[in-house]
Structure 1
Amino acid sequence: METGLFIALGLAAGVLSGLVGVGGGILVVPALVFLFGFSQHQAQGTTLAMMVPPIGILAAWAYWSQGYVDIKAASLLCAGFFIGGYFGGRLATSFSSPALERIFGIVLLVVAVKLIFSK
């Protein structure tokens, strides 16, 4: 049961990441759109490409060296995230740029409300 949940969680995170470029994208995506004139699609694609190599590897290493990484869970999440990222990216490219901007904004708003009102 746990294996399936890890894969499902990774899949959901991958879809969300591929769809709206979450992570550092909360800051980078709007900056690329508003400050540099990127389209929403270009901003999300660029942000995803930026985050892949350096951040995940170095952050994981820092946590792993302190004993804070569950390798089994991380591997299963990665499998789902890998597949979900592909499908989220495909889904994102099927939307118009204005629609994708609205989706991105709604996701940010939901996260903000949750963070503000959670205990």
Structure 2
Amino acid sequence: MNPTLIVSLIVIGLLAGILSGFMGVGGGVIMIPLMVLFLGYSQHQAQGLSLAVLSVPVTFLAAYTYYVNPLEGEAPFSWKFGIVIALSFVVGGLIGSKFAVAIPQNVLRKSFAVILIIAAVKMFFTK
């Protein structure tokens, strides 16, 4: 691997990790566009690599930090809820990936962009 590629990979990982830990956004929201822009990956390649990166060990430490540092007067989140959601996420991820690999890249990329826009607008205008 050439040094520029290594630096690009490190920057993508750091930005995704920092923003994921700081804002709770899925690292894929950050990594996928960066992989398309900086690595020249197709939408399919970027989504696949993002899923490979976002495994349990990557997110556990950030989640643990939130668990042990709840806001004053709040209980920490429920690990039981997290386990149920995670197991459902595994099934949903399998189903979603089966659909995604069957969709042309331009449709997949536009669908991804629409979801990001809807989420951004909703978050911006919600009090």
Counting aligned pairs with the same residue, the percent is: 36
Displacement of 1:55: 2.9
Cα RMSD (Å) = 1.7
Q: CA deviation at 1:102?
A: 0.6
Alignment of 1:4-83 (within 5 A): 23-66=26-69, 68-83=76-91
Aligned equivalent of 1:99: 107
Instruction: Find the residue that maps to 1:105 and give its secondary structure.
Output: helix
CA distance in 2, matches of 1:115, 1:69: 21
TM-score, with normalisation over the residues of structure 2? Answer: 0.69
Give unmatched runs, 5+ long, in structure 2: 1-24, 70-74
**5+ unaligned residues in a row in structure 1: which ranges?**
1-21
Q: CA deviation at 1:100?
A: 0.4
Which gives a bigger RCO, structure 1 or 2 (Cα 8 Å, sep 6+)? 1
Aligned structure 1 segments of 4 or more residues deviating by more than 6 angstroms: none
TM-score with structure 1 length normalisation?
Answer: 0.74
2:51 aligned partner, one-letter code = L
What is the CA–CA distance in structure 1 between the aligned matches of 2:50 and 2:108, rounded to whole Å?
15
Instruction: Note the C-alpha offset of 1:53.
Output: 3.6
Structure number with bigger Rg: 2
Q: Count residues with an aligned counterpart.
A: 98
Whether the 8 Å CA contact 1:60–1:69 is kept in 2: the answer is: no
Amino acid at match of 2:60: I
What is the CA distance between 1:41 and its match in structure 2?
0.3
CA distance in 1, matches of 2:123, 2:64: 27
